[in-house]
Amino acid sequence: MVEQPRTGRSRTRLTATVTDLEVVEQRAFLVAVATTKSAVPEAQTSLEELALLTDTAGSDPVEAELVRRDRFDPATLIGRGKVEELVSLTKAQDIDVVIFDNELSPAQQRNLAKMFQCDVVDRVALILDIFAQHATSKEGMLQVELAQLRYRLPRLRGRGVEMSRLGGGIGTRGPGETQLETDRRRILDRIAKLERELKHIARSHDTRTKARRKSRLPVVSLVGYTNAGKSTMFNLLTNAGVLVEDRLFATLDSTIRRVDLSSGSPILISDTVGFVRNLPHQLVEAFRSTLEEVNQADLLLHIVDGSDPNPDRQIEAVHSVLREIGADEIPEQLVVNKTDVADPVSINRLSQLHPEAVATSAITGAGMDELSTAITARLAETTDEIKIVVPYERGELVALVHDIGRVASTEHTDAGTAITASVPSTELHRFAEFIE
């Protein structure tokens, strides 16, 4: 159920957006469309999430409507008759913005804006707006601006007057209104410039990645649905003090810390942006360099909110994004989090569906010993091929590589014993200084 509107409208100033704008807290009317009877429950769940997203963006989700149709209307998505019905409702409630859970075509968005006589945006624009508010690093702001420009470019036609309005509502934050009033060529030039800047930053990422690889420490990346408790889990594992908020997309920039497991083996842990169902393709593309941190991982810790009424959909949404970025082949350890507030029946069901999962609470610390053991075991299953030359005075390392690894070849040279072998990823750091 969408929360009741708060009285009054407060004027606030954004502090972490691509551009600082004076914004008015908007009253929002939410709409979702289901084209089959079987799609209704999922559409309802998605509509409830849309209300959370709207609140995260700083607007009031006043009321929501789930529309049932046999097919999407190409002009208005929901049909002219339904639009006219909703227009009466939105005018009676002094609505500032209508937000559709379904992605709108540029033509649909223009038609609906004319009929509602207020701002009309879709789920994609809403998520882009949230990212604009939460981007703090230079890379994050560049990524968000790029995604927003790619989204808005086909929607500029016929919006000269609308875009010239000084606004601060959903769908207006980011590159700046004066930039959006420029011609198509200048916007394309801006996109090209952003892409070049992000490629330069990506090269810096590659340098840092090579440095981490040179340390030969296994990399464990936390992934999961937004607000699943990843940052809380990251803080518990690393004492990093990363921002933790009970809001969607509180973390955008990846953070990496070294951790010693209970076994004594050191690893690197990376916290990443949270995923969400129907994550805009523009964002996946724009944040590809950030998401590459996931691709470089030896193991994924997939954090699942055990208290969510439908964790299966969240799991599938995460897997969908992992497939899109090419990270779906990386070994995964499922972690069912928030057991301190979750229904035990739900936890048991997830444990039966995923026997390898570890049940934890990042708030109370429950299950953390089991999680550390599971990480050690999963990384032990992951091996790397190395070529090392061990000085003769370090004969204990020759014995160690034979003990823990699979030796393919051994040769005695002037510099020492040359060995080619496969060893567990958790043990690579022991041989780092001798790896060729």
With beta carbons less than 8 A apart as the criterion, state whether 180 and 152 touch: yes
> Can you give the pLDDT at residue 147?
87
Mean per-residue pLDDT, 404-431 = 87
| Higher-confidence position of 266 and 339 | 339
- Residue-wise pLDDT for 195-252, tens only, equals 899 888 877 766 665 555 555 688 899 999 988 888 889 888 887 554 445 445 545 5
Q: What is the average pLDDT value for the chain, to the nearest integer?
A: 81
**pLDDT at residue 404 tops 80:** yes
For residue 417 the two structure tokens come to: 């014993």
Give the tens place of pLDDT for each residue, 35-76: 988 889 889 988 998 998 999 888 999 999 999 999 999 999
Q: Does 424 or 173 have the greater pLDDT score?
A: 424
Of the pLDDT bands very low, low, confident and very high (cuts 50, 70, 90), residue 284 is: confident
Nearest to 225 by CA among 130, 304, 143: 304
Cβ distance 405 to 424 under 8 Å? yes
pLDDT of 313 higher than 70: yes
More confident residue, 390 or 154: 390
Please say if the pLDDT value at position 396 is more than 50. Answer: yes
Residue 274 has pLDDT above 60, yes or no: yes
pLDDT for 373 equals 92
Q: How many CB atoms lie within 10 A of CB 402?
A: 13
β-bridge mates for residue 225, sequence order: 275
Q: Give pLDDT tens digits for 160-207.
A: 434 444 455 666 555 555 545 556 788 888 899 998 998 888 777 666
CA 380 from centroid of its chain's CA atoms: 28
Most confident of 1-15, 190-204, 336-350: 336-350
105 phi, psi to nearest 5 deg? -75, 160
pTM confidence score: 0.72
Share of the chain above pLDDT 90, in %: 40
pLDDT recorded at residue 166: 41
CA 111, distance to chain mean position in Å, is 31
Beta bridge partners of 259: 267
Least confident window among 113-117, 230-234, 352-356, 411-415: 230-234
pLDDT confidence of residue 239 = 77
Per-residue confidence (pLDDT) for residue 181, from 0 to 100:
57
Task: Give residue 21's pLDDT band: very low, low, confident or very high (50, 70, 90).
Answer: very low
pLDDT of residue 215: 56
- Please give the average per-residue pLDDT across 88-96, as a whole number: 95
- The pLDDT value given to residue 343: 93
pLDDT at 11 (0 to 100):
30
Confidence of residue 24 (pLDDT cuts 50, 70, 90): low
pLDDT at 105 over 50: yes
Q: Average pLDDT of 103-123?
A: 94
- Give the residue with greater pLDDT, 391 vs 18: 391
CB atoms within 10 A of CB 207: 10
In this structure, the strands spanning 332-337 and 358-359 are: parallel
Angle at 309 between CA 7 and CA 274, to 5 degrees: 75
> What pLDDT is recorded for position 360?
96
Tokens of 114: 């004319």
Task: Name the pairing type of β-strands 97-100 and 119-122.
Answer: parallel
Per residue, the 3-state secondary structure of the chain, as one string, reads CCCCCCCCCCEEECCCCCCCCEEECCEEEEEEEECCHHHHHHHHHHHHHHHHHHHHCCCEEEEEEEEECCCCECCCECCHHHHHHHHHHHHHCCCCEEEECCCCCHHHHHHHHHHHCCEEEEHHHHHHHHHHHHCCCHHHHHHHHHHHHHHHHHHCCCCHHHHHCCCCCCCCCCCCHHHHCCCHHHHHHHHHHHHHHHHHHHHHHHHHHHHHHHHCCCEEEEEEECCCCHHHHHHHHHCCCCCCCCCCCCCCCCEEEEEECCCCCEEEEEECCCECCCCCHHHHHHCHHHHHHHHCCCEEEEEEECCCCCHHHHHHHHHHHHHHCCCCCCCEEEEEECCCCCCHHHHHHHHHHCCCCEECCCCCCCCHHHHHHHHHHHHHCCEEEEEEEECHHHHHHHHHHHHHCEEEEEEECCCCEEEEEEEEHHHHHHHHHHEC
Average pLDDT on 11-31 reads 56
Q: Which of these ranges, 149-153, 260-264, 370-374, has the smallest mean pLDDT?
A: 260-264
What are the chain's domains?
11-179 (3.40.50.11060), 217-380 (3.40.50.300), 383-434 (3.30.70)
- Residues 6 or more apart whose CB falls under 8 angstroms from that of 139 comprise 198, 201, 253, 289, 290
Provide mean pLDDT across the span 19-29: 66
pLDDT above 70 (res 17): no
